[in-house]
Structure 1
Amino acid sequence: MEVDRTRIQVVDTGERSIILEPLSEPRPGERWTLRVPWAEGRTPEAAEFALVAHPSEVDTELDIARLQVPAPACPAQAECAPCSAPSAADAIASGLIDKDGVQTLAFRPFKEAASGFESTAGVSYRASTWVLVDVEIIRPPRHLAWSPVGATLTSKTGEVRVRAIKIEPNKTSPERVRLFAEAEVPPPSAGLKFTLHLNGPAGAPSFSIPSVQLPPAKEVQP
Structure 2
Amino acid sequence: MFASSPTAFLVLLLAATPASSQTCPPLGASEGRCIELTAEGTNEVPEVQISPGQPTSFRFDSDVRSDGMTLENRERFEVAPGKRLITLEPSERMRGAKPSTLTVCFTDGAAPACASFRLIVHPAIGERRLEIFRHARSVNSVQAELRKTREENSELRAENARLHAEHDRPAGLLGLFASGMVDANGIPSQDITKLITTRESNSLKSWWVKTVRAPGRVVIDLWLENLDAAKSWTPKGAVLVGSKGEVLEASFWPAEPLPPGERRHIWVEVMAPDARTEGTFTLKLWEADGQRTFVIGNVTFPALAVKPGL
Q: TM-score, normalised by structure 1?
A: 0.50
Deviation at 1:115, TM superposition (A): 3.8
2:208 partner letter: A
5+ long unaligned stretches in structure 1: 1-85
Match of 1:181 among 268, 278, 288: 268
Alignment of 1:63-142 (within 5 A): 87-97=172-182, 101-108=186-193, 111-142=198-229
What residue is the counterpart of 2:248 in the other structure?
Answer: 160
Aligned pairs for 1:174-213 (under 5 A) are: 175-188=262-275, 191-213=278-300
Instruction: Note if 1:214 corresponds to 2:301.
Output: yes
How much does 1:170 deviate? 11
Q: 3-state SS of the aligned residue for 2:269?
A: strand
Whole-angstrom CA distance in 1 between matches of 2:236 and 2:278: 26
- Gaps of at least 5 residues in structure 2 are 1-170
Question: Equivalents in 1 of 2:249, 2:203: separation in Å?
Answer: 26
Structure-1 separation of matches of 2:176 and 2:271: 17
CA distance in 2: counterparts of 1:116 and 1:107, whole angstroms: 20
Q: Which amino acid aligns with 1:183?
A: V
Alignment CA distance shift 1:203-1:161 (3 Å): closer
| Distance (whole Å) between structure 2 residues aligned to residue 216 and residue 167 of structure 1 | 26
Would the alpha carbon gap of residues 147 and 168 (structure 1) be closer, same or farther in structure 2, given more than 3 Å must change?
Answer: closer
Deviation at 1:216, TM superposition (A): 1.9
> Given residue 249 of structure 2, which amino acid in structure 1 is its aligned partner?
R
Q: Structure 2 length as normaliser, TM-score? A: 0.37
Instruction: Write out per-residue CA displacement over residues 86-139 of structure 1, whole angstroms, 9 at most, x where no aligned residue.
Output: 742232245543577421111125553224421122111101121111011111
Q: Give the whole-Å Cα distance in 2 for the aligned partners of 1:95 and 1:190.
A: 18
- Aligned residue in 2 for 1:31: none
Deviates more, 1:94-103 or 1:153-162: 94-103
Contact 1:153 1:196 in 2 (8 A): yes
2:238/2:284 contact within 8 Å kept: yes
The code of the aligned residue for 2:221 comes to: D
CA 1:217–1:154: 2 relative to 1, 3 Å: farther
| Residue type of the alignment partner of 2:247 | E
Count of matched residue pairs: 136
Paired residues for 1:37-48 under 5 Å: none
2-structure distance, mates of 1:130, 1:143:
36
Q: Aligned partners of 2:230 and 2:290: how far apart in 1?
A: 11
Instruction: Letter of the 1:159 partner, please give it.
Output: V
What is the 5 A alignment of 1:8-27?
Answer: none
The residue type paired with residue 104 of structure 1 is S
State the Cα distance separating 1:175 from its structure 2 match: 1.9
Q: Which stretches of structure 1, 4 residues or longer, exceed 4 Å deviation after superposition?
A: 98-101, 168-174
- Secondary structure, in 3 states, of the residue corresponding to 1:135? strand
Match in the other structure for 1:13? none
**By how many angstroms is 1:150 displaced?**
0.9
Q: 1:159 to 1:218 in 2, by over 3 A?
A: farther
Question: Displacement, 1:188?
Answer: 2.8
Larger radius of gyration: 1
Q: Report if aligned partners of 2:209, 2:223 keep a CA contact under 8 Å in 1.
A: yes
Instruction: Name the CA distance, whole Å, in 2 between partners of 1:149 and 1:205.
Output: 11
SS in 1 for 2:302: coil
1:141 is paired with a residue of what secondary structure?
coil
